[in-house]
Each structure stands twice: as structure tokens, then as C-alpha cells.
Structure 1
């Protein structure tokens, strides 16, 4: 255990050093060893061969294949000169570097070259009785060096893949965040458009009626002014509710639930007071329909009636048909005004595109256009499970 801790500490200490410093430690130690242990008459040859074996290791990270070639060439010259050196360990380091930086073919080729050198060295220098043991031990070191290099390369590839995946996930997260922000802006813009356009249109119509009736029928003018006040307060409530969803500390969002199918009756009464007689028919039970789907139905009807109020002459009547089932909600709004004057025929309008966006969110397709005999029609079918085929 103590040796393992010392080795671990030494490895951590070495990992903090610059690569060139780490690569120069072994060549320095081997050169010091050969100069201090060899006899004087062997020193020039031994030092030269040791330098040829270990000095190329300084560049092994930059050019592993070239360094491996230089080390194997020096080892072959050493074998030809029949000089045994401790610096032969450089072959294992060069093989490890090739395995850590090259593919399978490069590793196998380098391993085969080193194994051939092991065989030649054992044939020349191993004692005959100890040849098998020496050869097996040297081969095991070759295999261990190659396996260690392959393991390092595999870890590096895995780490690179993980880093790339993390970077890709971060980009996707940022992209999704931008899309969510854009979608939320679109939702708020659409909601504000529906609230402001509808309530202002009603208030303008009621104001015109009050001005017209203030001398002939003061009671009706007073009633219209009260309805204007109520419409303004309702608009403020709707705006607080829509903006309050964005704030967790906003109490109005909880005090005032989102409008739904149950509030369509009040909406049609408001439109009747503003000068657009409207008849509402709701078929089927709507209590099981999600609140967001009910809000979509409410906004679709609100926008359709607001368009009819703004762009049709007095005397126009509207009809609203809502059919609820467990699978879908069908919304059908028609009026008997001149259909060619309704919005949606001009590309600058936001009402019809906003209605289409609301319908698409529930797998629906909005049909908006003039009727053959006159008037205007809005029709869509919202799939509550988003799983059926849209039929309009």
C-alpha cells in the first residue's frame, strides 16, 4: 500500500510538469547511468548508442512514427555492434507512443518490429537454458507497452467524444432556450393582440353608440358608458393575468382563472352590447377539456367576433357553434356581413395568422374565408390528443 501511494503521488507530481520536462527525465537518467557504470574503454560507444536510443524520445509526442523509426534503427545498430544497454527501454516507450497515437495497423506493425528485435536480442544475448523465460518476459513487456498505449488512445478518443457531445448538448440547450424565448414572445404577443384588439374594438363601438344616444336616449348612453368601463376593467384583468403567468409572485394569475368555453356566453353578450348580435351554441360537455385548449377556443371565437365587429357594417349577425367531444373540439363562427371586407385577405394583418398558430398547436388547420352566399366563416377542429388526422 505504501509503495502504491508513493507511485500515485509521483504520477500526480509528474502530470503537473510540462511534457518536455517529463520526456527529458528518462534520457537524462539513462545517460547518467551509462556514463557512471561503463568502463572507460566502452564509454564512447555506449554513450553514443545510448544517446541515439533515448534522445529522440524528446520529440515522441510531435512525431511518434519518426521517433520510433530512429529508435529502432539505433537499436539495430546496437545489435550489430553486440552492445547491451539499459537504454533499450526506449523501444518500449516508442512503441507505447505509437500505440497511443496511431491506429490498429500502426500499432501492430510497430509491435511486430519490436518483437522481431526481442527475438534477435534473445538469440544473441540470452543464456541457452533461460531463452524461453527471457523471450516470454520480453514479449510480455512488449505486449504490455502496446496495450497501455492502446488503452490511453481509447480513453483519449472517449474523452474527445464526451467533450464533443457535451459541447453539442450545450449548443442544443442554448438553441432550445432561444427557441423557448422566441416562442414565449410569440405567445405573449398573440395574447396581447387578442386582448387589446378585442377590448378596444368593443370600447370604440360602445363609445360611438353612447355619443349617438346621449341626446336621444340618455339612459342607453349611460348603459353604454358603464359597459365601456366594465370592458376596460376586463381588459386590465386579462392583461394582468397573461403577464402574471410570467411572475411567480403575481397573485392575479391565481385570482382570475384563464377564460374558457364557459365564458363564451359573457363574450357573446358583450358583442351584442357592442352592436354585433351573436348567437352561441355549445354542444357536448366541456368540463373535461384542458384549460389551455379552452383558452384557445375562447381566443379563436374572440378574434373571429372582433373581426366581424370591426369590418362589417351595422346590422350584421354572427353565429358561434362549438362542439365538444372526448377527442376534439370543433369551432365554427360565421356572420352574414360582406365577406370581402374581412381581414385575412391582407398579408399585414395579425389576427388570422395568430388564429392559425393557435389551431396548429392542437393539430388543427384553420379555414378562414368568405362564404359563397355572402358572409365570412372561421372553422377549425382542435385535436385534444394531437394524434388524429385533422379534418376541417
Structure 2
């Protein structure tokens, strides 16, 4: 409710300012006849002139919200002209206090102090002109001016505090939205990497098997049949993994739907056998003492080896042989996938998605990937991923 009221007051600022000064206008109208018998000090200028002077003092207050310094300057000048002309004090002179409050409540400390000093100086001038016998009244009247000035300072401080709270809340909301966008982008990048690895690897295996079946379909039908079966198995595996990945994006996925577990280090042997069955001879060795690894890190290791073997299938050429070595060292796991294929002569693209994906996966766990042609022929991928305390 308070928030709605504040928003309404901002939309109708002129109306609110008019309502604020309306009691002063009413008081000025009710006291028009008070000075007919003679003012206590100064000279009386009649009702028409009093109305004009009161309007000149009060009307600028309608703009005090947007232009507090200019409004205070205008009101102070009108009051000074009134003092010079020796016109008696009017109820409308209280507009100086309202304008001073506006400066203290909406401007910087420097302007607030300046407005307070001007108001105090104006009070001193009034006392010196019209109340010489009672200069001791200045301190008590000055307390009233200072009280209004302090009220404006308090309002200014409170307004700035509320604005800072609103700004912090808006900034927190923006940061939360930004974090959500970053998380969504990271999830999309992760799924893109997974899809790339799944599709590139399995399609490469299927292409190799299909080529083999095409060559052997006349000379060795049994081998061609096994190749076709391997293609079928690989295709089903690719579909299952893609279904699992795409299922992550489904907003209305059934709660009881289950997905296959993510592949890890334990599935490296199956991966090597699958690629070997496609016609790529692979030597697979594991050295060192295996240690427990998080599922995410195991998936990164599996995908790096899978991508390296996929590149061997695509770029190694005929008669290529590969070696996969997994070494559990002190504080790190070293993955080495090497082949004796075409190496530097292969159409390898340094900025390709495969190498980028391997490096991104390793960097997520503080690791590095080096990929380059081997001396004497072939290609090699070496990944170092810290584990345990080193990670």
C-alpha cells in the first residue's frame, strides 16, 4: 500500500506539492484583515498588494521538488525585496522555511548548509530592522529555523538510504538474472559439447563400419553382417545418449522417466572395445593406483579419450593403430592417446570443435590438453587433469 501511494505521489508531484502548501494559502487568506488596524512593525500595503506578494512567495513552492535551489533563491529574493521596502512580515514568509527544507531534503550537503545560512541571515536582518529592543529573541527563533533545517537533512538522509536499498535490490535482481543467464549458457554449452562428442564419435564409427561392410559384402558376407550389426548397435547407443541429453531440456519431462548413467572411467574399456570392433586396433593400458573421482571429472576423462579416438578414426588414414594410456600419478591423471597415422599431413583444424571441447572439459577441472603431430609420424593428445588435493 505504501509503495502504491509513493508511486502515485511521484506521478502527481505538482498536485501533492499544491496540497502541501494549501494550509499556508488558507492561513494567509484568513489573516488578510489582521493588519488593517496597523501592523506591529513595518508598513501595511493593503489587501491587493498583500495577495500579490503572498502569491510571489508561495507559487514557486510548486516547483520545489524538481528545482529546490532555484525555488529557494526566488523566495529568498522576494523576501529580501520585502525587507528593503520595509513591508511588514506576512504569513506567506513562512515559504522561506519550506523552500529551505526542500533544499536540505533534496540537495547536497553544501547546498543545504548554504540555504540554512541564508535563512539564518534573513532572520537576523528581520530582527535588526523590526525588533531592536529584543535581540535576545534571535536565538529562540534561530532554534526554530535550525529544527526545520535538521528535519530536511534527516529526510535527505532517509531518502538516500531508501534509494540505496532500492538500488541494491535492483542490482541483486540484475545479478540474479545474469547468473541465471550464465548458468543457462553454461548448460547449453555443456549439452552442445556432449552432443558433439556423441554424434561425432558414433557417426565416425558407423561410417567406418559401413565402409568395411561395403568392401566385404561380396567377398566376406559374414564380416559384412557383423559390420552391419555393429552399425545398428552403435546407432542405438547414439540415440540413447542423445535422448538422455535432449531430455534435460524438456520442461514437461515425466517425473518417473529414467536416464542412463553418465559414462566414466570404468567405461573406457567398453569404449576402446567398441572402437576396436570398428576396425581400429587399439592398445589400452592403465597404470598407477586408481582413485575415486567425481562423476563430472570421470565424464570429462571419458569424453577426452572418446574425442581423441574419433579424430584418429577421421584423420588417421588406412592401417592406423592407436594407443590409449591412462596413468594415475601423484595429484593428477595423465591421459595419452597416440596413433601412427598421417599426423601432420592429416586435415587437422587447430580451431575445431573437438580440440576446443577437450580443452574446455580439462580446464573445468584445472587441467590442460596438448594436441600435436608426433615426431616420426602420427598424432598425439596428452591431457593432464589434477585430482585430490591438487585439484
Could you state the TM-score of these two structures normalised by the residue count of structure 1? 0.82
Distance 2:73 2:370 in 1: 76
Secondary structure of the 1:322 match is: strand
The aligned counterpart of 2:145 is 142
Q: CA 1:189/1:209 → structure 2, altered by over 3 Å: closer, same or farther? A: same
1:89 aligned onto 2:94: yes
The aligned counterpart of 2:303 is 299
Q: CA 1:372/1:362 → structure 2, altered by over 3 Å: closer, same or farther? A: same
Correspondences of 1:242-321 after superposition (within 5 Å): 242-247=245-250, 249=253, 254-286=258-290, 288-321=292-325
The aligned counterpart of 1:210 is 213
Q: CA 1:59/1:203 → structure 2, altered by over 3 Å: closer, same or farther? A: closer
Runs of 4+ in structure 1 over 6 Å off: 11-17, 385-388
Q: What does the per-residue CA deviation read over 1:248-272, in whole Å, with 9 as the maximum and x for residues that have no partner?
A: 7367984411001110101111111
1:53 aligned onto 2:57: yes
Distance 1:251 1:287 in 2: 34
Determine if contact 2:300/2:361 at 8 Å carries over to the other structure.
Answer: yes
Secondary structure of the 1:186 match is: helix
How many angstroms does 1:358 deviate by? 1.8
Could you state the TM-score of these two structures normalised by the residue count of structure 2? 0.82
Q: What does the per-residue CA deviation read over 1:269-316, in whole Å, with 9 as the maximum and x for residues that have no partner?
A: 111111111111223454511111111111111111111122223332
Secondary structure of the 1:329 match is: strand
- Residue number among 338, 342, 345 corresponding to 2:342 in the alignment: 338
- Larger mean CA deviation between 63-72 and 270-279 belongs to 63-72
The aligned counterpart of 2:230 is 227
RMSD over aligned Cα, in angstroms?
Answer: 3.3
Secondary structure of the 1:83 match is: coil
Determine if contact 1:283/1:323 at 8 Å carries over to the other structure.
Answer: yes
Distance 1:255 1:223 in 2: 28
How many angstroms does 1:12 deviate by? 12
The aligned counterpart of 1:367 is 370
Q: CA 1:201/1:13 → structure 2, altered by over 3 Å: closer, same or farther? A: closer
- Residue number among 356, 376, 379 corresponding to 1:376 in the alignment: 379
Q: What does the per-residue CA deviation read over 1:95-125, in whole Å, with 9 as the maximum and x for residues that have no partner?
A: 1112123322222222122223333444565
The aligned counterpart of 2:119 is 114
Q: What does the per-residue CA deviation read over 1:68-104, in whole Å, with 9 as the maximum and x for residues that have no partner?
A: 2333344345445262433332221121112123322
Q: CA 1:219/1:275 → structure 2, altered by over 3 Å: closer, same or farther? A: same
Corresponding pairs, count = 375
- Larger mean CA deviation between 376-385 and 287-296 belongs to 376-385
1:65 aligned onto 2:69: yes
How many angstroms does 1:32 deviate by? 0.5
The aligned counterpart of 1:188 is 191
The aligned counterpart of 2:41 is none
The aligned counterpart of 1:104 is 109
Determine if contact 2:9/2:16 at 8 Å carries over to the other structure.
Answer: no
Secondary structure of the 1:35 match is: coil
How many angstroms does 1:40 deviate by? 6.4
The aligned counterpart of 1:34 is 31
How many angstroms does 1:373 deviate by? 1.4
Determine if contact 1:241/1:252 at 8 Å carries over to the other structure.
Answer: no
Determine if contact 1:240/1:253 at 8 Å carries over to the other structure.
Answer: no
Secondary structure of the 1:323 match is: strand
Q: CA 1:255/1:100 → structure 2, altered by over 3 Å: closer, same or farther? A: closer
Distance 2:7 2:306 in 1: 70
- Larger mean CA deviation between 94-103 and 257-266 belongs to 94-103
Secondary structure of the 1:54 match is: helix
Secondary structure of the 1:192 match is: helix
Q: What does the per-residue CA deviation read over 1:298-339, in whole Å, with 9 as the maximum and x for residues that have no partner?
A: 111111111112222333211111123573322110111120
Determine if contact 1:317/1:336 at 8 Å carries over to the other structure.
Answer: yes
